[in-house]
Structure 1
Amino acid sequence: MTILAAVHDEPIAPVISPATAENTAENTAPAVLSLRERAEVDGVRFILAVFVDMNGKPCAKLVPTAAADELQDGALGFAGFAAGLIGQRPQDSDLIAIPDLDSYIPIPFVREGLAIVHCDPHVNGKPWPYAPRVILKRSLAALAERGLTAKVGAEVEYFLVTKDENGKIVTADTRDDGARTCYDARGVTRMFDHLAAVSDAMNTLGWGNYANDHEDAAGQFEQNFRYDDALVTADRVVTLRYLISVLAEQRGMTATFMPKPFADRAGSGLHFHFSLWADGEPVFPDETDARGLGLSDTAYSFIGGILNHASGLQAFLAPSVNSYKRRGASTSASGATWSPKKATFGGNDRTHFIRVPDNKRLELRAGDGSANPYLAIAATVSAGIDGLEARTDPGDPCGPGESRATSVTLPQTLLHAVEALRRDRMLLDSFGTEHPVGEYFANAKEEEFLSWHNTVTDWEIQTYLTAY
């Protein structure tokens, strides 16, 4: 919920590691350092080689720096079926993790001598089409064919919890129990050590942390970093979730990105801020815009594409059963849910599906804490491209709190979202046509819904046990 007025300012310069500094010294031809050489310069002992499955679960192997050449040469194999939802069967060939050296960063604030590098899974020498990072790269390549690049900012929200003597989750800060705790100065002060550790980590990495706040619900926080290229931001969301989780565990807490861990409180979103650029210049602003938002025709077409595919997009923006407990909530302890229910767009109004806080960007507010950033960004970019190709007109923006009779009501459950995705051929095909990646994801999410649906809950016992 942070006001992101500066999210599309120029990015700040990162804190350069010794390896990077050596690689970019003034008046010196850049030396191409290997992964092992970079790690050795930085005093790194182990490298966490990471990729995520389609659910966003981080998978990794801890590689000694002495074996980094083998990692870079493609010798690190994973049993894909065991890793998670990534399109493999037990009999399939290994996933080979190929590191992206541009994503390499030391993370001594987690463990001294540790670094992390994001990897692209390959199978039999080719990028694996079910790998989320590979999927995002494909969507961004399609955008590049049109002379455009996407820059993205992300708002990561989460709860800090522990378990009581009965195994029930409770707010980690026992004094954080009010109904209206958003921006509470006392709450952030009590969690200062954790929040400061995460902030220091982000700034050490050069991400430009500019705000850390107590969110709407008791026990809920948000920590922000500056926008960057879409792939960089997706990598950073995955890294930040890992950092927040590990640093919370070091203090005896659990950080959860679950959309709605408490029935009576607002849930956790993952809001994305999108802008399009051409030749290093933003293409969204147009001061002559008669609709009042200061946007170009390109921006409106991009918005129109997203709105046209809003229902199917929810399978990627809100991909869990729990997502729709947040979406379907009528209120919360604070009086607001901050979760849009219709596919609307408007100005600086947080009730809309797409909020336009200024003419440089749009904020997509339908994502939640369970979203896989690679898939969510990829699907949104694909929907936006479809709008650009069709020159889709989204109509006039809605006023504060308004919707139109034609505004689509977003899916009410994960099953409804899956059905909407299956009807959206463009979205399904955007994940590739040679392999049924979209259908695979839809089938997995339907199974997830049915698994939950087949579980007898306390609500059913209370409602039906003696009802007949």
Structure 2
Amino acid sequence: MLTLEGFKQLVKDGMLETVVVAFTDHYGRLMGKRVDAEFFLETVLDSGTHGCNYLLTTDMTMEPVPGYNYANWELGYGDFHMVPDISTLRKASWLDKTAMVLCDLHNEKTHQTESIAPRSILKKQLDLLAEQNLNCFAASELEYYLLENTYRQAFEQNYHNLKPAGYYLEDYNILQGTRNEKYTSAVRRHLKDSGVPVETSKGEFGLGQHEVNVKYSEVLTMADNHVVYKQCLKEVADVMGLSVTFMAKFVTDQAGSSSHIHMSLWKDGKNAFVGDQEFGPVKGSDIFRWFLGGWIKHVSDVMPFYAPTINSYKRFVDGSWAPTRLAWSYDNRTAGFRVVGRGASLRIECRIPGADCNPYLAFAASLASGLDGIKNKIEPPECFIGDIYAAAHLPRVPYTLHEATALFENSEFAKSTFGIEVVEHYSHFFKSEQQAYDKSVTDWERRRYFEQI
């Protein structure tokens, strides 16, 4: 990370010329501007900059979507204010003479934060957490597929017949990992040099599937690191003539890509999940138990924040390493909630989110659910022992975006937690995504019906 003084010196020495001033849209993509470094110091650092508020109403193709109250043609698509969070200032080492800073979005008229912006939604939960003298440490484990095609080639081939950077299942396999080390070592180095501390990298269960794990941190920092991570991996791949995808389910018969969330709450410098009484195979406090209970109970209320796209739900297949039922267990990868660690390392791993999630929304949903568990002393179900995929009696995760959106839109918990404005805004967003898919003719339909119907 860069201190302001360090940044100024690098600009003075000609080592930095450009600043990427960015925020995430609903999809978790970085949006923003490139700003001259000297202009950033003169103006943007203190005064911020402007962006069109349509960016919080577009679809994946950047088309403005009608039906939002927040911004529309009638209101003229005005501006919001992008306010740099100077604590996120870093050198983007994979880019030439470039730094990056992440922004909060403020309303131009009221100067208050935009309540529907993903980072604002997470920060609201952090304010509630702070009221209880708690803070949260988190990590997100991002998986991705590495392909030997460029992004342009993939586009021109209509994303057909792409060549994965591996030809057998390579989970933990060092030999296949070595074959991709030119790329993987580059992203490890660039992440580390850009303020995102890296722990490990490894092959995963799909052809060309990999994972680079970064160190846990306070939850807002982790969300920021998550979006920097994705941007870095995509842009390094682009330069090297490769491509990566963070689709939750890239290939029908291959493993999906997850973003497992690890969380623990801390108080007075100690892990608040650790307790004296025996709870299953681990010693968990009341806070641990109730947080877990709330997190499990409210999955269906906030599911689109974990699984925001049509593709997200194709990952939830029994026996695929993705969870399909709502249960917890100790160190059991068939569970939606896997409790791991002991003592200071005791934490809850939620295995539901896919690699396509927006981390600010996924972390906000996780915290809100757990905090409600603490507030209302929600007990979790019994610890499950065995193969949860085979436990047909357990409740299932929502299996389609359509189902998940309806549950979210009608959830009293979501409305009271995030506010009606947020729920209405994101319900419209998820519905628009569903409608775009419903109107599209797919390859599956052509293969199935073209000749045989």
Shared fold, TM over 0.5: yes
Aligned to 1:432: 419
Distance 1:368 1:444 in 2: 18
Aligned 8 A contact 2:275 2:285 in 1: yes
Other structure's SS at 1:127 match: coil
Distance 1:388 1:77 in 2: 39
Aligned to 1:13: none
Aligned 8 A contact 2:48 2:84 in 1: no
Aligned to 1:445: 430
Distance 1:362 1:120 in 2: 28
Aligned to 1:210: 199
Which structure 2 residues correspond to residues 62-77 of structure 1 after superposition, within 5 A? 62-68=34-40, 69-77=42-50
Which structure 2 residues correspond to residues 46-125 of structure 1 after superposition, within 5 A? 46-68=18-40, 69-82=42-55, 84-85=57-58, 87-90=70-73, 91-107=76-92, 109-124=93-108, 125=111
Pick aligned residue for 1:409 from 396, 407, 432: 396
Distance 2:325 2:11 in 1: 48
1:83 to 1:318, Cα distance in 2 relative to 1, 3 A: closer
Matched, 1:420 2:420: no
Pick aligned residue for 1:321 from 300, 306, 310: 310
Aligned 8 A contact 2:183 2:237 in 1: yes
Q: Identity rate of aligned residues, in percent?
A: 27
1:37 to 1:72, Cα distance in 2 relative to 1, 3 A: farther
Distance 2:160 2:137 in 1: 37
Aligned to 2:335: 352
Residue 450 of structure 1 deviates from its aligned partner by 2.0
Aligned 8 A contact 1:301 1:394 in 2: yes
The residue type equivalent to 2:35 in the other structure is V
1:428 to 1:37, Cα distance in 2 relative to 1, 3 A: farther
Distance 1:306 1:39 in 2: 45
Distance 1:392 1:191 in 2: 46
Aligned 8 A contact 1:42 1:106 in 2: no
Distance 1:89 1:37 in 2: 43
Matched, 1:361 2:347: yes
Residue 357 of structure 1 deviates from its aligned partner by 1.3
1:290 to 1:372, Cα distance in 2 relative to 1, 3 A: closer
The residue type equivalent to 2:186 in the other structure is A
Which structure 2 residues correspond to residues 298-317 of structure 1 after superposition, within 5 A? 298-317=287-306
Aligned to 1:177: 167
Residue 184 of structure 1 deviates from its aligned partner by 2.1
Other structure's SS at 1:289 match: strand
Distance 1:192 1:131 in 2: 37
Which 5+ residue runs of structure 1 have no aligned equivalent? 1-15, 24-34, 331-335
Aligned to 1:265: 254
How does the TM-score come out when normalised to structure 1?
Answer: 0.86
Aligned 8 A contact 1:383 1:427 in 2: no
Instruction: Compare the two structures and name the one with the higher helix fraction.
Output: 2
Greater CA drift, 447-456 or 82-91: 82-91
| Count of residue correspondences | 429
Distance 2:164 2:247 in 1: 18
1:59-102: CA deviation from partner (whole Å, max 9, x where unpaired): 02001111113112334111121465494324143111100000
Residue 173 of structure 1 deviates from its aligned partner by 4.9
How does the TM-score come out when normalised to structure 2?
Answer: 0.89
Residue 172 of structure 1 deviates from its aligned partner by 4.6
Other structure's SS at 1:450 match: helix
Pick aligned residue for 1:196 from 140, 163, 185: 185
Aligned to 2:65: none
Aligned to 1:251: 240
Residue 193 of structure 1 deviates from its aligned partner by 1.2
Distance 1:151 1:322 in 2: 29
Residue 373 of structure 1 deviates from its aligned partner by 0.1
The residue type equivalent to 1:458 in the other structure is D
1:361 to 1:41, Cα distance in 2 relative to 1, 3 A: farther
Aligned 8 A contact 1:312 1:424 in 2: yes
Pick aligned residue for 1:389 from 375, 379, 398: 375
1:218-250: CA deviation from partner (whole Å, max 9, x where unpaired): 011100111000000000000000000011111
Residue 406 of structure 1 deviates from its aligned partner by 6.3
Residue 166 of structure 1 deviates from its aligned partner by 4.2
1:70 to 1:53, Cα distance in 2 relative to 1, 3 A: same
Distance 2:163 2:369 in 1: 39
Pick aligned residue for 2:326 from 343, 347, 355: 343
Aligned 8 A contact 2:187 2:233 in 1: yes
1:454 to 1:252, Cα distance in 2 relative to 1, 3 A: same
Aligned to 2:61: none
1:432 to 1:73, Cα distance in 2 relative to 1, 3 A: farther
Which structure 2 residues correspond to residues 34-49 of structure 1 after superposition, within 5 A? 39-40=11-12, 43-49=15-21
The residue type equivalent to 1:81 in the other structure is Y
Pick aligned residue for 1:463 from 422, 425, 448: 448
Distance 1:302 1:311 in 2: 16
Matched, 1:140 2:113: no
Distance 1:42 1:146 in 2: 46
The residue type equivalent to 1:431 in the other structure is F
Aligned 8 A contact 2:21 2:84 in 1: yes
Aligned 8 A contact 2:21 2:100 in 1: yes
